[in-house]
C-alpha cells in the first residue's frame, strides 16, 4: 500500500470521471446511430457493449465516490498529469469534432489489390451462386478454380465504388471495396477491373451496381476476373460499406 | 495498514513518469508533424479528407482495443485487492527449473498485463520467489493470460500468429529465466529493496472484505485506465499516421524484407510501449505490409520489454540486469523473427 505524497486535485478527479462517462456515452451513441460499423467488424460489436458498461461502471463509481467526498481515486499510481488527461481525451475529440465516415476511395493508398484477402480463405465462396457473390467472393472463387477461364461468362451482379489505377485507360475502371476482418486497422482495398465504354462518365469514388458477365483476362500482367458490364447504375453507398473477410 | 507503519519495508517504485514523459511526447510530436507534412505533400488530398481518413483509422483501432484495456485494468484491480503474494508462491513446484517453466504460465491464473506484472513480481521477490521464476513470469505473463489470448484471437483467429506468439513467448521467457537460474545470484540481480524483507511481515496483509475489495478494484482500475490509456492513444495515433500518410509501397519495401522487417517491428514495439492486451490490434495494421516473422517478433518482444516496462524494471532489478533482460529478449526475438521469415519462404 503505497500512499502518494501529494493529493490529487479535486478537479482532476472530476475530469477523469467526466471523461469516463463521456467515453461510455460516445460509444453508446455510435452503437445507437449505427456508426460503429464505420470502425469495426459487426462481429465484434458486442465488445463495444462491454466497453460502454465498463466505462459507465467506472465513471459512475467515481462520480458517486466524489459526491460522497471520498476521494479514493487517490490510490497508488492514480495521480497523472494534465497532459496525460489530454491524451486520454484525444479519442473523444476526434469522435466529436471529425464527422464519422467509413473509408472511401480517398483512403486507397498504393492501389487496389486484385487478390483475395482474409483468413477465411477461399472455402466459403463455394456455397454462393454467382449472382450472390460480392467482389471478395469473386476474387476468392477466381483464386480457387484450377483454370482462370473456368468462370468465363458467369453472370455478375456486384456493388462497389469506382477507382482508377494511374495506368488505366479511359474505358477501364476498378470496382473496388474495402474489406475488414477485425477493424479499420486491417482494412484493405480490393477490386475487379471493369471494361466499360462510358467509364469516363463515372465519378471517382461513386458507388455503382454492375450487372454483366465475367471474363478472365490479363491486367497488370496478372490473370484476373474482369467484368464485362451490360448495365451500370449509380446506387447509394450501402449501409455497411465494408466486406468482412 | 502494516505498510504504512513500516514505510521502509515497501519503498515506492521510483517515479517512472519523469524521464518518460518528455521523451514520448517529443517523439509523438515530431512524428505527427513529419507525417502530416509528408502526407499533405504526397497524397494530394484536401486536408479535411485526410483528417477524416486519419480519424476513422485512429478511432477504429482505439474502439476495438479499449474494451480489452478496460478488462485488463479491472483484472489488475482485482488482483491488487484480493490476491496476496503468498497465494502465488504456494502454487509453485519446489524444483527450481520446473518452477521456472511453470512461471511462464502463471499468468493464466493471475492475469496481469506488462504494467501490472512489475509490482506483482517485486512483491513476489520480497516474499522469496526464486529470481529465475520471477523473470520468466515477468516476461511471459503479459501475454500468457486469458484477456490477451482473447484479444489476440479476435485480431488474428486461431492462426499461425496466435500459435506462434504462444510458442515464441513461452520459449524465450523460459530460456531467459533458465539463463538467470544457471548463472546469476539473487543479490547480483535484484535491487536491495526488492530482496526478501527480513520477516516478510508486511506481506501478510489481512484479506479484504468483498465490499472493501471491490471498491479498491474499481479505484485501481480507474487509475490504471488513465495511466495505461495514454500509451494506447499514442500507439493508435502512430499506427493511424503510418497507415494514412506513408504510401504502402514504401512500407512494403521494408516490411516484406525477411531480415530488415524484424528489427523495424522490434523498434516499433519498444517505442510504442502499448499494453499487451491491445497490441494485437496495432499489429493488425502491419499484417498487410510486414512479414509474419516481424509481426510475431513484435507481439512477443513488446509485452516483454518496452520503454515503460524498462523504466519500471529499474525499480526492481539492478541496472546491469535490466540491460541483460533487454538484450536477451531483443536478440532472441530478432533471431526468432528472422528465422521464421527465412524458413517460411519470406512470408
Half-sphere exposure (Cβ direction) of A210: Cα atoms closer than 13 Å: 32
If one compares A4 and A132, the residue with the highest pLDDT of the two is A132
Strands, E assignment, B211-284:
none
Count of structural domains within chain A: 2
Domain shared by A119 and A74, yes or no: no
Instruction: Answer positive or negative: Cα dihedral of B156, B161, B167, B169.
Output: negative
Instruction: Answer positive or negative: Cα dihedral of A176, B63, B281, A120.
Output: negative
B337 neighbors B294 (Cβ within 8 angstroms): yes
Domain shared by A147 and A227, yes or no: yes
Cα separation of A16 and A11, whole Å?
A: 9
Read off the C-alpha cell for A98.
471529425
Domain shared by A146 and A188, yes or no: yes
Domain membership flag for residue A201: yes
Domain membership flag for residue A204: yes
Q: Residue A26 pLDDT > 50, yes or no?
A: yes
Cα separation of B304 and B169, whole Å?
A: 9
Domain membership flag for residue A2: no
If one compares A20 and B197, the residue with the highest pLDDT of the two is A20
Residues in B 65-84 with any Cβ partner in A closer than 8 A:
66-68, 70-71, 74, 80
Record: contact A106-B45, CB cut-off 8 A: yes
Domain shared by A153 and A222, yes or no: yes
Domain shared by A62 and A151, yes or no: no
Domain shared by A133 and A205, yes or no: yes
Closest Cβ opposite residue A44 in set B13, B64, B247: B64
Task: Answer with the one of A72, A97, A122 that is the final residue of a domain.
Answer: A97
Domain membership flag for residue A4: no
Q: What is the nearest CA distance from A82 to chain B, expressed in angstroms?
A: 11
Record: contact A87-B233, CB cut-off 8 A: yes
B150: exposed, middle or buried (Cβ count in 10 Å: 0-12, 13-18, 19+): middle
Phi/psi for B119 (5° steps) reads -60, -35
Domain shared by A78 and A112, yes or no: no
- Shortest CA distance from B57: residue in chain A: A184
**CA angle in degrees (0–180, nearest 5) for B221-B222-B226:** 110
Task: Name which of A26-40, A156-170, B250-264 the model is least confident about.
Answer: B250-264
Instruction: Answer positive or negative: Cα dihedral of A178, A181, A182, A187.
Output: negative
A79 chain-B contacts, CB cut-off 8 A: 223
Closest Cβ opposite residue A185 in set B52, B67, B281: B281
A103 neighbors A37 (Cβ within 8 angstroms): no
| For chain A, percent of residues with pLDDT exceeding 90 | 39
Best of A48, A185, A188, A204 to disrupt the B interface by mutation (most B CBs within 10 Å)?
A: A185
Band (B44; pLDDT cuts 50, 70, 90): low
What pLDDT is stored for residue A162 in this prediction? 94
Under DSSP, is residue A228 helix (H, G, I), strand (E, B) or coil?
Answer: strand
Residue A190's domain is classified under what CATH number? 2.40.50.140
Domain shared by A54 and A144, yes or no: no
Task: Answer with the one of A77, A97, A117 that is the final residue of a domain.
Answer: A97
A71: exposed, middle or buried (Cβ count in 10 Å: 0-12, 13-18, 19+): middle
Domain shared by A109 and A211, yes or no: yes
B48: exposed, middle or buried (Cβ count in 10 Å: 0-12, 13-18, 19+): exposed
Is B193 part of the contact surface with chain A (CB cutoff 8 Å)?
no
Tell me the ipTM for this assembly: 0.87
Domain shared by A93 and A135, yes or no: no
pLDDT tens digits, residue range B6-27? 334 444 444 444 455 666 667 7
Best of A121, A186, A190 to disrupt the B interface by mutation (most B CBs within 10 Å)?
A: A186
B13 chain-A contacts, CB cut-off 8 A: 2
What pLDDT is stored for residue B5 in this prediction? 39
Record: contact B226-A72, CB cut-off 8 A: no
B224 chain-A contacts, CB cut-off 8 A: 77
Record: contact B70-A87, CB cut-off 8 A: no
Domain parsing of chain B, residue ranges: 19-343
Task: Answer with the one of A74, A97, A120 that is the final residue of a domain.
Answer: A97
Q: Residue B228 pLDDT > 80, yes or no?
A: no
User: A192: domain range?
Assistant: 105-244
Cα separation of B134 and B112, whole Å?
A: 13
Domain membership flag for residue A5: no
Domain shared by A230 and A173, yes or no: yes
Domain membership flag for residue A3: no
Domain membership flag for residue A211: yes
Domain shared by A120 and A27, yes or no: no
What pLDDT is stored for residue A9 in this prediction? 62
- Shortest CA distance from B214: residue in chain A: A61
Closest Cβ opposite residue A2 in set B12, B284, B287: B12
Is B252 part of the contact surface with chain A (CB cutoff 8 Å)?
yes
B10 chain-A contacts, CB cut-off 8 A: 1-2
Distance set, CA A111 to CA A176, B234, B249 (Å): 10, 28, 9
What pLDDT is stored for residue B205 in this prediction? 61
Amino acid at each position: 500500500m503505497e500512499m502518494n505524497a501529494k493529493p490529487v486535485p479535486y478537479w482532476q478527479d472530476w475530469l477523469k470521471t467526466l471523461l469516463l462517462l463521456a467515453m461510455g456515452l460516445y460509444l453508446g451513441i455510435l452503437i445507437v446511430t449505427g456508426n460503429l460499423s464505420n470502425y469495426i467488424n459487426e462481429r465484434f460489436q458486442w465488445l463495444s457493449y462491454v466497453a460502454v458498461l465498463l466505462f459507465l461502471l467506472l465513471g459512475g463509481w467515481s462520480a458517486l465516490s466524489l459526491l460522497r467526498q471520498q476521494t479514493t481515486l487517490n490510490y497508488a499510481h492514480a495521480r497523472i498529469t494534465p497532459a496525460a488527461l489530454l491524451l486520454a481525451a484525444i479519442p473523444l475529440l476526434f469522435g466529436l469534432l471529425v464527422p464519422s465516415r467509413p473509408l472511401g476511395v480517398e483512403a486507397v493508398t498504393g492501389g487496389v489489390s486484385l487478390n483475395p484477402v482474409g483468413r477465411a480463405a477461399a472455402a466459403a465462396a463455394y456455397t454462393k451462386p454467382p449472382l450472390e457473390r460480392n467482389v471478395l467472393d469473386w476474387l476468392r472463387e477466381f483464386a480457387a478454380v484450377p483454370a482462370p477461364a473456368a468462370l468465363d461468362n458467369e453472370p455478375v451482379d456486384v456493388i462497389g465504388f469506382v477507382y482508377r489505377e494511374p495506368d488505366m485507360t479511359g474505358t477501364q475502371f476498378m470496382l473496388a471495396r474495402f474489406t475488414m476482418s477485425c477493424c479499420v486497422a486491417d482494412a484493405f482495398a480490393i477490386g475487379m477491373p471493369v471494361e466499360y465504354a462510358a467509364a469516363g462518365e463515372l465519378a471517382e469514388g461513386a458507388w455503382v451496381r454492375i450487372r454483366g458477365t465475367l471474363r478472365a483476362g490479363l491486367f497488370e500482367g496478372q490473370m484476373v476476373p474482369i467484368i464485362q458490364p451490360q448495365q451500370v447504375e449509380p446506387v447509394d453507398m450501402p449501409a455497411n460499406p465494408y466486406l468482412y473477410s | 495498514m502494516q505498510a504504512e507503519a513500516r514505510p521502509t519495508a515497501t519503498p515506492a517504485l521510483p517515479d517512472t513518469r519523469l524521464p518518460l514523459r518528455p521523451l514520448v511526447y517529443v517523439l509523438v510530436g515530431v512524428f505527427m508533424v513529419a507525417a502530416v507534412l509528408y502526407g499533405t505533400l504526397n497524397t494530394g488530398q484536401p486536408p479535411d479528407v485526410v483528417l477524416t481518413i486519419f480519424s476513422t483509422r485512429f478511432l477504429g483501432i482505439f474502439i476495438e482495443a479499449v474494451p480489452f484495456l478496460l478488462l485488463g485494468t479491472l483484472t489488475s484491480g482485482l488482483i491488487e485487492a484480493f490476491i496476496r503474494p503468498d497465494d502465488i508462491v504456494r502454487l509453485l513446484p519446489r524444483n527450481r527449473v520446473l518452477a521456472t517453466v511453470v512461471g511462464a504460465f502463471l499468468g493464466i491464473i493471475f492475469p496481469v498485463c506488462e504494467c501490472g506484472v512489475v509490482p506483482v513480481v517485486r512483491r513476489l521477490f520480497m516474499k522469496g520467489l526464486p529470481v529465475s521464476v520471477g523473470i520468466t513470469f515477468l516476461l511471459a505473463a503479459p501475454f500468457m493470460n486469458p484477456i490477451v489470448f482473447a484479444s489476440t484471437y479476435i485480431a488474428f483467429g486461431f492462426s499461425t500468429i496466435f500459435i506462434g506468439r504462444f510458442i515464441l513467448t513461452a520459449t524465450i521467457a523460459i530460456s531467459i529465466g533458465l539463463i538467470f537460474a544457471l548463472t546469476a545470484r539473487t543479490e547480483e540481480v535484484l535491487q536491495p529493496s526488492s530482496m526478501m524483507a527480513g520477516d516478510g511481515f508486511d506481506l501478510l496483509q489481512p484479506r479484504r472484505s468483498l465490499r472493501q475489495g471491490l471498491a479498491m478494484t474499481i479505484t485501481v482500475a480507474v487509475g490504471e485506465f488513465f495511466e495505461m490509456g495514454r500509451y494506447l492513444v499514442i500507439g493508435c495515433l502512430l499506427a493511424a499516421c503510418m497507415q494514412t500518410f506513408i504510401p504502402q509501397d514504401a512500407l512494403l519495401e521494408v516490411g516484406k524484407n525477411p531480415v530488415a522487417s524484424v528489427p523495424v517491428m522490434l523498434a516499433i514495439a519498444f517505442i510504442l510501449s502499448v499494453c499487451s492486451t491491445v497490441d494485437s490490434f496495432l499489429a493488425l495494421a502491419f499484417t498487410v505490409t510486414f512479414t509474419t516473422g516481424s509481426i510475431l517478433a513484435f507481439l512477443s518482444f513488446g509485452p516483454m520489454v518496452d520503454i515503460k516496462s524498462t523504466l519500471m524494471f529499474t525499480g526492481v532489478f539492478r541496472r546491469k540486469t535490466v540491460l541483460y533482460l533487454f538484450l536477451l529478449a531483443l536478440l532472441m526475438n530478432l533471431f526468432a523473427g528472422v528465422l521464421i521469415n527465412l524458413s517460411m519462404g519470406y512470408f
